[in-house]
Structure 1
Amino acid sequence: MLTMNYTYRIDPDALQQTELRSWLETCRGVYNYALRELKDWIASRKCSVDRCSLEKEYIIPADEPFPSYHRQQNNLPKAKKQFPHLGQVHSQVLQTTIRRLHDTWEAFQKRGYGFPRFKKFGQFKSFVFPQFKGNPINGFTIKLPKIGEVPINLHRPIPNGFKVKQVRVLSRIRGTQWYVVVTIESDISVPDAPVHGRAIGIDLGLERFLTASDRSFQERPKFFKSMQRKLKLLQRRASRKQKGSQNWEKAQIEVARMHHRIANRRRDFHLKTAHQLCDRAQTIFAEDLNVKGLTRGMLRKDCVDAAFGQFLSLTEWVCWKRGVYFAQVNPNGTSQTCPNCLATVSKGLEVREHHCPECGYRTHRDHAAAEMVLHRGQENVVSQGLWGTETACQVGLSGVDDLDKWRGAGTPNRETGKPAL
């Protein structure tokens, strides 16, 4: 079973937008009410056995069962009689809202942190239609239950043999832009790409966004920093408006639109870079970075602006789609090890050149790290028995340097020459 998500822009009219916003707020209320029941039941089991609190106490019987997903879902018909506005929302949309809460609760129990939180106004930005009898997309419109037909920008058609499984409606830029994430599935199964063809290793950094083992590199565009001055001006204007007024809402929309533009530019750059890598190699190795740790260091703003985690996720998706093998290796010590003789060469972050005192190998620091990533990737696939005689990576074979130069001829940024020995 193959499942994929396609994202499309939709253009609902003013009446439909009002209906969608009302649905989001209703779902937010259902989510918060269900979470309140969950927290009250937990708090009633945490009081001391020998005394009661002097401030407040949760009066819940001891034999009251846990408010599970099925129990809260079965209470929805009763709640609709007490709160008639719940009936305006599709019944399955409310059920998936309860499912969303319990998925978060189960994830919290597994990892031990991240207890579900109450959603404030505007924080609930999506809801799901879990199933359809037929294909809701007809031409350039999509038919949503109880909403009607909404114009859709179908920039790419649904592939043959796939059927629509569910549709998630997303609100962006404070409810001024709307998208649908269409989940499609098919009975076909696509095997994982084997290790084959030419292999490269990539190293991610802040001086250069990406450096490959074939000496090509990609400069780092500073998406947030380049727009930070204009964003600061928009935020200053928004802070001077009276909170809750129409001018304040317009100013907040301008700020949200700027953030949305920055995110779109960054994602577009990541996708294009991933496709360029797939054009040059059939096997790609990258570092398994601790992305969360990078966002807590001294250079956290630059690391968040570069979004290494998003790039690695998108690269893995692009490689799978194009039949390129992608794997991540241990990043520890890649810049402190000589790729030529595997000797340890300690150097600080201020040293941007790798010079091995053992073998005399000299090259750029990031290029040496990329070569080390390639070396570790090759060791992993050989140890796993994935590397065959017909899938040799061409490293060490005759004509490799000429092949690298030929493949990198169209790369705008590329180091030339051979390293000095």
Structure 2
Amino acid sequence: MIISHSYKIKPNQEQITKIDNWLELLRRHWNYALGQRLDWLNRTRCRVDRCSIISSPIGEIPIRPDYHFQSGELKQTKKLFPEYKEIYFEVQQNNLRRLDKSWQRWLVPDQTGKRFGRPKFKKSRKLRSLSFSRVNHPKAAIKFDGKQIIISRFGAIPVIVHRLIPEGFTIKTATLTKKADGYYVSFSLEDKSVPSQIPTDNIKTAVGIDVGLKEFLTTNTGETVSVPNLYRKAQSSLARKQGQADRKETGSNNWKKAQNKVARLHQHIARQREDFHYKTAHKLVKEHDLIALEDLNIKGLARNTKLSKSIYDVAWGAFLEKLNAVAVKRGVHVVKVTPHNTSQNCSNCGHKVPKTLSVRTHSCPKCGIVLDRDENAAMNILNKALNEVGIILSACGGLDISQPVKQETFETWVQLSLF
């Protein structure tokens, strides 16, 4: 299992100047390497027997600039630009690895056939992190003794250790990051043991959750978590600070200070949202053995809709990622189901009851049940998840919290018994 811990560091002014200089040099190298890749792509975008109406190669076509090619050119880079000799070789390699990963995600579709956006050239001060491949290794450039990080070309930098490294975990990599309120170091921690999931036969409690904008989430038992509206509450303050920054001369010291105030407010909002997500996720995982939720296309929901700002504010996708991470540590099942007709079908009898988004109450004309729209959807989500796992039980009745759900198989039929 791999986790990460982030700590704030307190470099002195000389160390800050050196970190910022390294980040600027890495940014320039990123842009050069990206330009080299795009130039090669434009030169080789058509076959030999076809002429491109966009561009055609002049002279010899260069070698394909993949990671290995660009990494091999680092020695030549240090000869042409001596300032790069100060930066560790592994730091420059990691910078190229990040570029190569972004490049591959753009060109090669993932398992779902989705491709990510093209890597972008980075503007000034937009590359904010540099990473080390090894920590506390005899040949490692960075070491951590529990109170400070020691880098031979930086010296000792104090670390605010607000939580200890978990016992049994080994520090694998380290990343120095520049943020709005200072500098941080993030350690990647590895433990060979992997938490095992709770066996299906031992699942005692299960919950279906339906996320929304009226309530952040609604469970199949009718419990709700309110929407915090963190961005909406800070919107007026953010607009005021952005207006103050716009009135400053671009590039001046006052402009930089005003921009930093805007960045700090954005950082505060993001941290509030992250804290809310983690607290909600831990509460759900602590109380249930199985969590059912919808596999939503959040970008599709936010596209071309007046609710896009509210959808991005609640950040369902970030919450679901954190919920998955917390559930893995505790061995809890997280089952994603298709959202098709979860709000339209009746959770009691299965009858389809069409309703628009403005209708917030589910009233079934067939069985007569009346429920909140989101609660009905949460019940349908739980029913779908239980069927996928192999537990057949109506979400209306819920699971018995004191006895495990056990499935007995007979010759011609399957019966669910609780005992």
Q: Is 1:114–2:117 an aligned residue pair?
A: yes
Counterpart of 2:310 in 1: which secondary structure?
helix
8 Å CA contact 1:8, 1:154 repeated in 2: yes
TM-fit CA distance, 1:115: 2.1
1:323 is aligned to 331
TM-fit CA distance, 1:209: 0.7
2:26 is aligned to 27
8 Å CA contact 2:205, 2:399 repeated in 1: no
Cα displacement string for residues 374-415 of structure 1 (whole angstroms, at most 9, x for unaligned residues): 111111101xxxx59xxx899747977x99xxxxxxxxxxxx
Q: Is 1:125–2:128 an aligned residue pair?
A: yes
TM-fit CA distance, 1:279: 2.9
TM-fit CA distance, 1:102: 1.2
Cα displacement string for residues 123-151 of structure 1 (whole angstroms, at most 9, x for unaligned residues): 21111101131682213212235222222
Q: Is 1:279–2:282 an aligned residue pair?
A: no
**Structure 1 residues 184 and 242, CA gap change in structure 2 (3 angstroms):** same
Name which of 291, 307, 313 aligns with 2:321.
313
Give distance in 2, aligned partners of 1:301 and 1:397: 35
Q: Is 1:101–2:106 an aligned residue pair?
A: no
Give distance in 2, aligned partners of 1:287 and 1:69: 38
Q: How does 1:3-402 map to 2 (within 5 A)?
A: 3-46=2-45, 59-62=58-61, 64-111=62-109, 112=115, 114-132=117-135, 133=137, 136-173=143-180, 176-195=181-200, 196-296=203-303, 297-382=305-390, 387=391, 396=397
TM-fit CA distance, 1:191: 2.5
**Structure 1 residues 147 and 340, CA gap change in structure 2 (3 angstroms):** same
Give distance in 2, aligned partners of 1:310 and 1:148: 37
**Structure 1 residues 60 and 224, CA gap change in structure 2 (3 angstroms):** farther
8 Å CA contact 1:198, 1:394 repeated in 2: no
TM-fit CA distance, 1:60: 4.7
Counterpart of 1:124 in 2: which secondary structure?
coil
2:414 is aligned to none
TM-fit CA distance, 1:12: 1.6
8 Å CA contact 1:44, 1:60 repeated in 2: no
2:112 is aligned to none
Give distance in 2, aligned partners of 1:76 and 1:241: 40
1:415 is aligned to none
8 Å CA contact 2:2, 2:188 repeated in 1: yes
**Structure 1 residues 114 and 394, CA gap change in structure 2 (3 angstroms):** closer
Give distance in 2, aligned partners of 1:375 and 1:264: 34
8 Å CA contact 1:197, 1:393 repeated in 2: no
8 Å CA contact 2:31, 2:122 repeated in 1: yes
Cα displacement string for residues 193-215 of structure 1 (whole angstroms, at most 9, x for unaligned residues): 44412001000000011101121
Counterpart of 2:40 in 1: which secondary structure?
helix
- Structure with higher RCO (Cα < 8 A, 6+ apart): 1
Question: Percent sequence identity over matched residues?
Answer: 37
Cα displacement string for residues 95-135 of structure 1 (whole angstroms, at most 9, x for unaligned residues): 11111111111111212552222111122111110113168
TM-fit CA distance, 1:339: 0.4
Give distance in 2, aligned partners of 1:145 and 1:360: 74
TM-fit CA distance, 1:348: 0.6
Give distance in 2, aligned partners of 1:82 and 1:398: 69
Counterpart of 2:84 in 1: which secondary structure?
helix
* Bigger shift: residues 275-284 or 44-53: 44-53
TM-fit CA distance, 1:255: 0.3
RMSD: 2.6
* Bigger shift: residues 47-56 or 213-222: 47-56
Give distance in 2, aligned partners of 1:261 and 1:165: 29
Give distance in 2, aligned partners of 1:218 and 1:55: 54
Tell me the amino acid that sits aligned with residue 136 of structure 1: K
TM-fit CA distance, 1:59: 3.8
Tell me the amino acid that sits aligned with residue 123 of structure 1: K
Counterpart of 1:184 in 2: which secondary structure?
strand
Give distance in 1, aligned partners of 2:399 and 2:262: 55
Counterpart of 1:136 in 2: which secondary structure?
strand
Give distance in 1, aligned partners of 2:78 and 2:49: 40
TM-fit CA distance, 1:237: 0.5
Give distance in 1, aligned partners of 2:86 and 2:161: 28
Give distance in 1, aligned partners of 2:45 and 2:222: 60
2:411 is aligned to none
Counterpart of 1:208 in 2: which secondary structure?
coil
* Bigger shift: residues 153-162 or 82-91: 153-162
TM-fit CA distance, 1:265: 0.5
8 Å CA contact 2:43, 2:56 repeated in 1: yes
Give distance in 2, aligned partners of 1:194 and 1:145: 49
Tell me the amino acid that sits aligned with residue 86 of structure 2: Q
Cα displacement string for residues 206-260 of structure 1 (whole angstroms, at most 9, x for unaligned residues): 0011101121101101100100001100001000001111110000000000000
Give distance in 2, aligned partners of 1:397 and 1:208: 21
8 Å CA contact 1:329, 1:376 repeated in 2: yes
**Structure 1 residues 398 and 351, CA gap change in structure 2 (3 angstroms):** closer
TM-fit CA distance, 1:47: 6.9
Count matched residues.
391
Tell me the amino acid that sits aligned with residue 21 of structure 1: D
Give distance in 1, aligned partners of 2:16 and 2:169: 29
Counterpart of 1:358 in 2: which secondary structure?
coil
